[in-house]
Structure 1
Amino acid sequence: MDGPRTIDMVARLRHLAQAGSPAEMRLAQIVLDRPSDASEAPIQTLAAQAGVSEPTVTRFCRALNCEGLRDFKLRLAQVVAVGGFTMFPEPVQRSPDDEHILTLVRDGATAAIERTVAALDMSLVARAALAISGARHVVTFGSGGLSSMGAVELQNRLFRLAVPVAAHTDGQMQRMVAAVAQEGTTVVALSSSGSVRSVVEATRIARAYGATTIAITNPQSALARESEILLGFSIPSDGQITRPSPARYAMLTVVDVLATSVASVRGPEVLEGLRRIRQSLSALGMSDADRPIGD
């Protein structure tokens, strides 16, 4: 069985490691076990490690849809550089009760929140809260899983404070909304990486038309440079790719701190809106005084 002729080298390597010829299986496993070494090893070394001839190594490269060894090594180096630990993750350790999963998630969340709180400049949070509270219209931008969630969650926090707000997670819509921004518009752009093109460009466009721009992002990113007020956070990867990134807790921490600061700026007037929400929800049997409003 020849297997899938895919441009994905890792998928092809894994196929050959399981269903290739004996020589292909040995070579593929050598590459999968130590990809960085394989991307730099001369043909003689690869051949000796697999116990095959040098022409067999060349045929193996062609089976991976590469022109030869040089092309194979170049493409493998690119895969390693881009994929990193996601290409060859550490195996998930199991235990009878999976107690370690609770510890892993708890420790990751706690560390992310503590790191974010320690780095957050509350004077900038106060500036951002004033800009949001005084805006005629607030828009939030986010693209991708985490940042989209953050943009929608900030909308969810702000509307109940009687802030006119709309979240946009579509790249084209972000550009269009940015193009009609003006003085009195406040844009809050969220991105864990700060490199998402649609969010960066929409923020730049909105600022050019007079909007106040706030970024919740990596302080060293392109988005950070486009914003007037930066609420920075950065959570390094820990290699645990089977677990949701702790960066989500960091972003939500900034969102919650910002929303709470906005509520403080707006003062007692927010209570009337919250009272109305509570009364409206009571019709749904949700009048428990201890229940969070609208959560």
Structure 2
Amino acid sequence: MKQVADIITRLQMMTQDGSKSDRRLAALVLADLDFASKAAISEIAARADVSEPTVTRFCRNLGCEGVRDFKFWLAQAIAIGGLYLMPAPLNRDAREQRIAAAITVGATQAIERIAASLDMSTLMSVAERLSASRHVLCIGSGGTSSMMATEMQNRLFRLGVSVVAQVDGQLQRMYAAVATSETTVLAFSISGYAKSVIDSVVVARQYGARTVAITGPGSALAKAAEIVIPFQHGEDSNIYKPTSSRYALLAVVDMIATATAESRDSNVLESLRRIKLSLNTLKVDDPRLPLGD
């Protein structure tokens, strides 16, 4: 069997470059994906006004072994990307407040879900470990997870923690290879299957580092790490707005940072004072501005 990487793209190309019957069949499938994925070959042939052998030939021209194989790939495409292939109608008449509400409600709900599910005793023990570590390595791969690794570095360095963030896969593995028993690795992955992150956790543990993963429970990363803060993401059906789960992950980052600051007690205040003073002196003399943000 030929490898069918993206049946939808192949169908779209077929509507432009295929034979007359192939173009007709491709257009029919794209117009009614649900029908095409479930209908018998006779029903597809009748609707397209072609013969059954023509349908079989069409499927093979797409790189499939036959109609059954074609339906398998089509069903998979619908299951994975159905929201984007058959989106709910967009109400363009609604005013700007609809967009503001979609973002704020989604963010609030995501944060409330993660707050309700967190084991705070685990989070507090992680904060104590970070505070006591000689070195902290934050790693993440992909849009949200890499952003959170960098943000955790931004939160911890100002507390006097020796911390570095790496989002490049090769550098993650290299830094993990020089970890010691005084290192804590904080790994972010929403899916839990980012290979460089998993590899780095495995390597760091080999050299005695403590490893913490903020990831999906039961994932490969969760199994590789010593300590897991479970993160389960849930999205709504609005495919036009950015994912709300990153607000929840950011809330976890802020909780860990706050707990770490409190575990260091007044030791953090001098560093924070210096940062505030230097920024207000060199940038804008406004003490109301956030600390370094």
CA distance in 1, matches of 2:249, 2:181: 27
Secondary structure (helix, strand or coil) at the match of 1:152 reads: helix
Residue in structure 1 matched with residue 126 of structure 2 by the alignment: 128
CA distance in 1, matches of 2:54, 2:181: 67
Residue in structure 1 matched with residue 223 of structure 2 by the alignment: 225
Secondary structure (helix, strand or coil) at the match of 1:117 reads: helix
Residue in structure 2 matched with residue 111 of structure 1 by the alignment: 109
CA distance in 2, matches of 1:255, 1:43: 53
CA distance in 1, matches of 2:20, 2:94: 37
CA distance in 2, matches of 1:73, 1:289: 63
Q: Which runs of 5+ in 1 are unaligned?
A: 1-5
Residue in structure 2 matched with residue 206 of structure 1 by the alignment: 204
After TM superposition, the structure 1 = structure 2 runs for residues 1-295 of structure 1, keeping only pairs within 5 Å, are 8-17=6-15, 23-95=21-93, 97-295=95-293
- Residues 157-203 of structure 1 show CA distances to partners (whole Å, capped at 9, x for unaligned) of 11111111000111111111111111110010011111111111211
CA distance in 1, matches of 2:103, 2:17: 37
CA contact (8 A) 2:192 2:215 kept: yes
CA contact (8 A) 1:127 1:229 kept: no
CA contact (8 A) 1:231 1:254 kept: no
User: How much is the aligned-residue C-alpha RMSD, in angstroms?
Assistant: 2.3
Give the CA deviation at 1:235.
1.8
For normalisation by structure 1, the TM-score amounts to 0.89
CA distance in 1, matches of 2:271, 2:32: 60
- Residues 259-294 of structure 1 show CA distances to partners (whole Å, capped at 9, x for unaligned) of 000010011111110111112112333231111111
Q: Give the count of matched residue pairs.
A: 290
CA distance in 1, matches of 2:96, 2:45: 42
CA distance in 2, matches of 1:93, 1:144: 31
For normalisation by structure 2, the TM-score amounts to 0.89
Letter in 2 for 1:279: L
Secondary structure (helix, strand or coil) at the match of 2:187 reads: strand
Q: Which runs of 5+ in 2 are unaligned?
A: none
CA contact (8 A) 1:182 1:209 kept: yes
CA distance in 2, matches of 1:253, 1:117: 8
CA distance in 2, matches of 1:117, 1:96: 32
Judging changes above 3 Å, is the alpha-carbon distance between structure 1 residues 51 and 98 closer, same or farther for their aligned structure 2 residues? farther
CA contact (8 A) 2:280 2:287 kept: no
Letter in 1 for 2:119: D
Identity rate of aligned residues, in percent?
A: 51
Letter in 2 for 1:294: G
CA distance in 2, matches of 1:30, 1:107: 38
CA distance in 1, matches of 2:120, 2:57: 61
CA distance in 2, matches of 1:162, 1:203: 24
CA distance in 1, matches of 2:13, 2:143: 30
User: Mean alpha-carbon deviation: is it higher for 37-46 or for 184-193?
Assistant: 37-46
Judging changes above 3 Å, is the alpha-carbon distance between structure 1 residues 88 and 294 closer, same or farther for their aligned structure 2 residues? same
